[in-house]
């Protein structure tokens, strides 16, 4: 009897240790965010320490700065479209490669993750040369599909890992019970892969939103994304408005993630409950 | 002469509009009539007659200069001509050249380019046009000393007009380096072993080689002992904490106390000293001056671009943009009244001759760039 | 419709289905990757004449330079070392939060996961530059350590290889965590309970059940981190000193600053081939099959 509490204690300490370590990782991940948020309230002309006084002037300037607002809207719409298209395309590929016996499956898998391996600088220049030889202009569509290409490997890897981890037991069970393919997909496959789909959407959006190199080359004239705008501004000086923009975006994200978190955990609990019932 | 009636007429109209002689509505109507009349008469070779230009593209480094230009020159250009200016930014001029080469003619119209070496490069790559200076009356105000290097490269006609000029010199922290020491050592500060790990410099082959040539007692536009230059660059590198790649970075390194001395662009130095008077600025032993220019690229509607340049070279626009970017404008201060703020810039030359400064020789530098740039890239990485 | 008819028809559909599913990604990959890289491949054979000028004078001289010049070999070695350290740190350190989030009973675990992506919302360049305020001579860490009296003079942390690796870890750890999380989350937790009832200690159950089951995620995460860090170039520019550069910096400089596209595309394709080779070796010895184990 005397052994059990000790074990429990040990286990508890183990949990504390793990939670404590996780907390430290979060602190590390958040350090730059905290810096950016602090600096966005700094009244100083320069985007750096020390904090000379608190002020909301950079938020006012941000709201008045059409260029950054426009860049933000471009990046946001580009990110959302990239995430939707990229996840859909990746899901289709993963389904084809995991659930069917396709000849050359390995080749196609490798091809799908190949955009990861090619330095973006080279990919970017290569695509421009291709456009020139075809006499095509740079358009928003080109930038969008380019972003889909860049995010495809990430979305594909996440979804594929989930799909292959699942096995097909549940799907086979459902179809042997007479469900048609669409029903199986909607009732079984989709809920079970939901966590990976959410992860893929998020991944694709953030990667697109944060992409610099490829956007620099592929954007049509007159279009700026947030990263390209910042890159151009760096030449001059880091305007504190950028810090204010960061703060606004983090606030939006926290709001959105509370929402998405609620939806996500509901989806996950449905998914967990689904096959058992 | 195909275009001068419109240009001069528009110029005249714009002046009257600015002076308040005519209201905006009749101003715009007159501008429209001018365009219409040209269209009806159908002057041969007039682009306005043949095809209507809806927009031109202007690309620059962005930032406060761009904002100032948008408020002043670009806005009045759009009002007067009805041509929309699509603005874009870039971080590296190399990026623009790469995209222009991979793209199609007309992808870029006017860019804010970085002086005569770049001008030579664009011309060599076949992107030049010939501007008709008669269509740009304001070009008369530009300092001949700044125009000459461009004429040397394209004697038959310019494709660009100078916009502003700046110097590269040295900023130092007065808490650690006295004014006397700075004035005495100048570029020698960057190889002073007492300042080991407290030095920064521009990560650019031409700046590093220019400084190294001065440090080894040579003429930077005619280096005789190349090995001595490489040796000085290596000496500097061994003492450098971090090379900077952007103006913002140079300020950051100095202001945060990471380094005590560094190359700096004069406009950045002005802003640093405004922020913290503990910093000082000295020129190299031979003041290193450069200019930025507005470059019109092949495939653009040249006459509309000429109109645009004329609006930008307007004195008010030049003053507004110069005060925003802290670099003196390219206009001759003996012909044009400039503000006290501009006259206080550390590299402002009231004579308008720029005789005390040295410019890089674009022929010399672009000839050797192919070999020197990669060589420098290796040395910079310690190889 | 009889049952037999349906099955004949559906067999035809069944054969075509995977190809229909694959077609969008194949079209994108072909037009946006295969064709452009073919053009870049052709460029590796070109002759570099001057800044931004090249001639279609076919030859293997660029490849010859790549294989004989120690400058490039040094860069490959240095990049491999930095990428490997980054990968190990990301996977080992990232495993813990991934495990904690995946096994927590908290309703908010999705929120915990989402929070890890929060740093991505602040533009990469700004995020990386903000480390200057943390690690610098007058940054947060030095100020704190001097304030509590642990050190007298500021530590030199910024503009070192350590700072570069830290920047890369910060950028890439979410990739590792997310992948590990997904694989732990999707593994059958009841197996752990089985192991426990069979007498395994919690630690034993972890090593015999959870860890092996999460290996696909670890493998994917490690691969992503390695490949992405080997291809990066902005982090060393911002956080590194003169000694700190990666192969990606050489590619960027050669293509962008020197406008030497023949050599630049040679370097780019060389990096892609090296990374592809590493993945092949990796899959042979570490069983990338695990990654794709559900394929059959």
Identify the CA nearest to C93 among candidates C167, C161, C176, C157.
C176
What's the pLDDT at C139?
82
pLDDT band (50, 70, 90) for residue C10: low
Determine contact: A271 vs chain C, CB below 8 A: no
What's the pLDDT at C293?
39
User: Is the model's pLDDT at A154 over the cut of 50?
Assistant: yes
Q: Are C263 and C62 in contact (CB under 8 A)?
A: yes
Angle at B32 between CA B26 and CA B34, to 5 degrees: 105
pLDDT digit string (tens) for A202-245? 889 988 998 998 998 898 877 889 888 887 777 666 667 778 88
Q: What is the pLDDT along chain B (383 residues), one digit of tens a residue?
A: 333 334 444 455 555 555 555 555 555 555 444 444 444 333 443 444 346 789 999 998 877 778 888 888 899 999 999 999 988 888 788 889 888 887 788 889 999 999 999 999 999 989 999 999 999 999 999 999 999 999 999 999 999 999 999 999 999 999 999 999 999 999 999 999 999 999 999 999 999 999 999 999 999 999 999 999 999 999 999 999 999 988 888 988 998 889 999 999 999 999 899 888 999 999 999 889 999 999 999 999 999 999 999 999 999 999 999 998 899 999 999 999 999 999 999 899 999 999 989 999 999 999 999 999 999 999 999 98
Q: Do domains B54-165+291-343 and B167-288+360-380 have the same CATH topology?
A: yes
pLDDT digit string (tens) for A160-209? 878 877 777 788 888 888 888 888 888 888 888 888 898 889 889 988 99
pLDDT digit string (tens) for A235-261? 666 667 778 888 887 887 777 767 766
Q: Peptide bond preceding C64: is omega within 30 degrees of 0, i.e. cis?
A: no
Contact call for C122 and A116, based on CB within 8 A? no
Determine contact: B57 vs chain A, CB below 8 A: yes
Interatomic CA distance for residues C257 and B378, integer angstroms:
13
Per CATH, domain B54-165+291-343 is 3.40.190.10 = yes
Burial of B181: CB neighbours in 10 Å, binned 0-12, 13-18, 19+:
middle
CB-nearest partner of A236 from B64, B86, B88: B64
The string of DSSP codes covering B248-311 is HHHHHHHHTTS-SEEEEEHHHHHHHHHH-TTEEEEEEEEEEEEEEEEEEPTTS-HHHHHHHHHH
Terminal alpha carbon distance of chain A:
38
Q: Are C215 and C283 in contact (CB under 8 A)?
A: no
What's the pLDDT at C120?
78
What the block records as the tokens of A35 is 């810096």
C chain contacts of residue A196, beta-carbon cutoff 8 Å: 182, 186
What's the pLDDT at B240?
96
Q: Is the ipTM of this complex over 0.90?
A: no
Q: Are C123 and A226 in contact (CB under 8 A)?
A: yes
Q: Are B211 and B192 in contact (CB under 8 A)?
A: no
Pick C277 or B162 by higher pLDDT. B162
What's the pLDDT at B177?
96
Determine contact: B90 vs chain A, CB below 8 A: yes
What's the pLDDT at B327?
93
pLDDT digit string (tens) for C21-70? 999 999 999 999 999 999 999 989 999 888 777 888 888 999 999 999 99
pLDDT band (50, 70, 90) for residue A40: confident
Strand (E) or helix (H) holding B199: strand B199-202
CB-nearest partner of A129 from B89, B102, B325: B102
Pinpoint the alpha helices (H) of B198-257: 205-215, 226-239, 247-255
Contact call for A222 and B271, based on CB within 8 A? no
Percent residues over pLDDT 90 in chain A: 24
Query: Which stretch of A65-69, A137-141, B363-367, C99-103 has the lowest confidence by average pLDDT?
Result: A65-69
pLDDT band (50, 70, 90) for residue C181: confident
What's the pLDDT at C66?
96
User: Is the model's pLDDT at A146 over the cut of 70?
Assistant: yes
- By CA distance, what is A49's nearest residue in B? B256
Pick A106 or A48 by higher pLDDT. A106
Contact call for A122 and C21, based on CB within 8 A? no
- Give the domain B167-288+360-380 fold: D-Maltodextrin-Binding Protein; domain 2 (3.40.190)
Determine contact: B271 vs chain A, CB below 8 A: yes
Among C11, C17, C26, C33, the strongest candidate for a mutation testing the A interface, having the largest count of A CBs within 10 A, is C33
Pick C181 or B164 by higher pLDDT. B164
Among A43, A122, A233, A240, the strongest candidate for a mutation testing the B interface, having the largest count of B CBs within 10 A, is A233
User: Is the model's pLDDT at C242 over the cut of 80?
Assistant: yes
Determine contact: A161 vs chain C, CB below 8 A: yes
Domains and CATH numbers, chain A: 66-276 (1.10.3720.10)
C chain contacts of residue B376, beta-carbon cutoff 8 Å: none
Contact call for C18 and A111, based on CB within 8 A? no
Using CA atoms of B18, B133, B29, B79 in order, give the dihedral in degrees to the nearest 10: -60
Contact call for B121 and C243, based on CB within 8 A? no
pLDDT digit string (tens) for A92-109? 999 999 888 888 888 888
CB-nearest partner of C119 from A32, A202, A264: A32
Q: Are C116 and C102 in contact (CB under 8 A)?
A: no
Mean pLDDT of chain C: 85
Contact call for A164 and C117, based on CB within 8 A? no
What's the pLDDT at A62?
84
C chain contacts of residue A160, beta-carbon cutoff 8 Å: 291-292
Contact call for A254 and C32, based on CB within 8 A? no
What's the pLDDT at A277?
33
Could you tell me the residue ranges of all domains in chain B? 1-52, 54-165+291-343, 167-288+360-380
The string of DSSP codes covering chain C is --HHHHHHHHHHHHHHHHHHHHHHHHHHHIIIIIHHHHHHHHHTTSEEEETTEEE----SHHHHHHHH-HHHHHHHHHHHHHHHHHHHHHHHHHHHHHHHHHH---TTHHHHHHHHHGGGGS-HHHHHHHHHHHHSTTSHHHHHHHHTTS-SS----TTSHHHHHHHHHHHHHHHHHHHHHHHHHHS-THHHHHHHHTT--HHHHIIIIIHHHHHHHHHHHHHHHHHHHHH--HHHHHH--TT---HHHHHHIIIIIS--HHHHHHHHHHHHHHHHHHHHHHHHHTTGGGTTGGG-
Contact call for A32 and C125, based on CB within 8 A? no
Determine contact: A115 vs chain C, CB below 8 A: yes
Pick A264 or A130 by higher pLDDT. A130
Determine contact: A112 vs chain C, CB below 8 A: yes
| Chain A (198-237) residues lying within 8 Å, Cβ to Cβ, of chain C | 198-199, 202-203, 206-207, 209-210, 212, 226-227, 230-231, 234
What's the pLDDT at B315?
94
Mean pLDDT of chain A: 83
Return the partners of chain C (3 or more C-beta pairs < 8 Å).
A, B
Tell me the shortest Cα–Cα distance from A36 to chain C, in angstroms: 7
Strand (E) or helix (H) holding A179: none
A 10 A CB-CB count for C215 gives 17
A chain contacts of residue C34, beta-carbon cutoff 8 Å: 111
């Amino acid at each position: 009897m005397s052994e059990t509490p000790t074990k429990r204690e040990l286990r508890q300490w183990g949990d504390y240790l793990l939670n404590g370590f996780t907390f430290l990782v979060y602190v590390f991940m958040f350090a730059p965010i905290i810096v950016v948020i602090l600096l966005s309230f700094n009244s100083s002309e320069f985007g750096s320490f020390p904090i000379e006084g608190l002020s909301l002037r950079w938020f006012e300037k941000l709201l008045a700065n059409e260029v950054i607002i426009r860049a933000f809207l471009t990046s946001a719409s580009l990110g959302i479209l990239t995430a939707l298209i990229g996840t859909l395309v990746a899901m289709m590929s993963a389904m084809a490669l995991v659930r069917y016996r396709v000849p050359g499956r390995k080749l196609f898998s490798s091809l799908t993750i190949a955009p990861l391996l090619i330095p973006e600088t080279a990919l970017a220049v290569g695509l421009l040369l291709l456009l020139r030889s075809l006499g095509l202009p740079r358009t928003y569509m080109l930038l969008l599909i380019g972003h889909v290409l860049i995010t495809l490997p990430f979305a594909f890897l996440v979804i594929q890992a989930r799909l292959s981890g699942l096995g097909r037991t549940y799907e086979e069970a459902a179809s042997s019970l007479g469900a048609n393919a669409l029903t199986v997909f909607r009732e079984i496959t989709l809920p079970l892969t939901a966590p990976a789909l959410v992860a893929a959407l998020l991944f694709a959006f953030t990667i697109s939103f944060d992409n610099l190199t490829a956007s620099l080359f592929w954007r049509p004239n007159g279009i700026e994304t947030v990263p390209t705008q910042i890159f151009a501004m760096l030449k001059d000086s880091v305007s504190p408005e950028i810090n204010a923009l960061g703060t606004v975006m983090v606030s939006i994200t926290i709001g959105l993630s509370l929402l998405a978190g609620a939806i996500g955990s509901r989806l996950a609990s449905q998914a967990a409950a689904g096959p058992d019932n | 002469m195909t275009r001068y009636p419109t240009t001069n007429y528009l110029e005249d109209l714009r002046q009257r509009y600015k002076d308040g002689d005519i209201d905006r509505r009749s101003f715009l109507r007159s501008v429209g009539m001018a365009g219409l009349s040209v269209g009806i008469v159908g002057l041969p070779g007039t682009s306005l007659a043949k095809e209507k230009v809806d927009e031109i593209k202007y690309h620059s480094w962005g930032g406060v200069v761009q904002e100032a230009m948008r408020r002043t020159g670009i806005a009045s250009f759009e009002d007067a001509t009805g041509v929309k200016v699509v603005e874009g930014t870039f971080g590296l001029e190399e990026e623009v050249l790469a995209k222009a080469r991979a793209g199609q003619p007309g992808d870029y119209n006017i860019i804010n380019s970085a002086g005569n070496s770049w001008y030579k490069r664009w011309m060599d790559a076949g992107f030049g046009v010939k501007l008709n200076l008669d269509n740009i009356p304001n070009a008369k105000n530009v300092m001949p000393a700044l125009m000459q290097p461009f004429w040397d490269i394209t004697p038959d006609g310019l494709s660009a007009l100078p916009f502003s000029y700046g110097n590269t010199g040295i900023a130092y922290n007065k808490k650690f380096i006295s004014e006397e020491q700075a004035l005495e050592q100048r570029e020698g500060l960057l190889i002073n072993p007492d300042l080991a790990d407290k030095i920064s410099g521009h990560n650019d082959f031409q700046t590093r080689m220019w400084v190294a040539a001065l440090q080894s007692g040579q003429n930077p536009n005619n280096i005789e002992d190349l090995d001595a230059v490489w040796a000085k660059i290596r000496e500097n590198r061994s003492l450098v904490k971090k090379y900077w790649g952007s103006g913002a970075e140079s300020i950051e390194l100095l202001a945060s106390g990471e380094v005590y001395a560094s190359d700096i662009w004069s406009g950045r130095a002005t802003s640093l000293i405004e922020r913290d008077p503990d910093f000082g600025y000295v020129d190299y032993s031979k003041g290193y001056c450069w200019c930025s220019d507005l470059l019109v690229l092949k495939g653009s509607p040249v006459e509309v671009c000429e109109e645009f340049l004329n609006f930008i070279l307007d004195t008010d626009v030049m003053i507004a943009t110069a005060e925003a970017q802290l670099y003196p404008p390219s206009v001759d201060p003996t012909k044009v009244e400039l503000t006290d703020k501009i006259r206080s810039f550390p590299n402002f030359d009231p004579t308008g001759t720029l005789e005390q400064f040295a410019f890089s020789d674009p022929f010399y530098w672009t000839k050797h760039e192919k070999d020197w740039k990669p060589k420098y890239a290796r040395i910079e990485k310690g190889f | 419709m009889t049952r037999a008819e349906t099955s004949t028809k559906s067999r035809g559909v069944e054969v075509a289905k995977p190809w229909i599913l694959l077609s969008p990604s194949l079209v994108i990959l072909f037009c946006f990757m295969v064709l452009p890289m073919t053009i870049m491949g052709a460029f590796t054979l070109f002759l570099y004449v001057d800044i931004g000028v090249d001639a279609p004078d076919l030859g293997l001289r660029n490849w010859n330079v790549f294989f004989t010049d120690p400058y490039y070999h040094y860069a490959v070695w240095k990049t491999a070392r930095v990428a490997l350290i980054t990968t190990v740190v990301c996977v080992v350190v990232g495993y813990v939060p991934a495990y904690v989030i995946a096994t927590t009973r908290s309703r908010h675990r999705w929120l915990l996961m989402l929070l890890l992506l929060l740093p991505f919302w602040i533009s990469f360049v700004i995020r990386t530059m903000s480390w200057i305020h943390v690690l610098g001579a007058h940054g947060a860490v030095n100020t704190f350590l001097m304030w509590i009296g642990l050190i007298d003079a500021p530590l030199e942390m910024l503009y070192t290889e350590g700072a570069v690796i830290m920047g890369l870890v910060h950028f890439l750890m979410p990739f590792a965590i997310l992948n590990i999380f997904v694989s732990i989350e999707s593994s059958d937790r009841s197996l752990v309970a089985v192991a426990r009832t069979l007498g395994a200690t919690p630690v034993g159950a972890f090593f015999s059940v959870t860890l092996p089951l999460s290996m696909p995620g670890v493998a994917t995460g490690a691969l992503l981190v390695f490949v992405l860090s080997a291809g990066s170039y902005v982090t060393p520019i911002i956080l590194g000193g003169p000694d700190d550069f990666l192969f990606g910096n050489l590619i960027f400089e050669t293509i962008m600053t020197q406008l030497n596209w023949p050599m630049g595309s040679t370097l780019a394709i060389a990096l892609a081939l090296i990374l592809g080779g590493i993945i092949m070796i990796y899959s042979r010895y570490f069983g990338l099959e695990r990654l794709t184990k559900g394929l059959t």
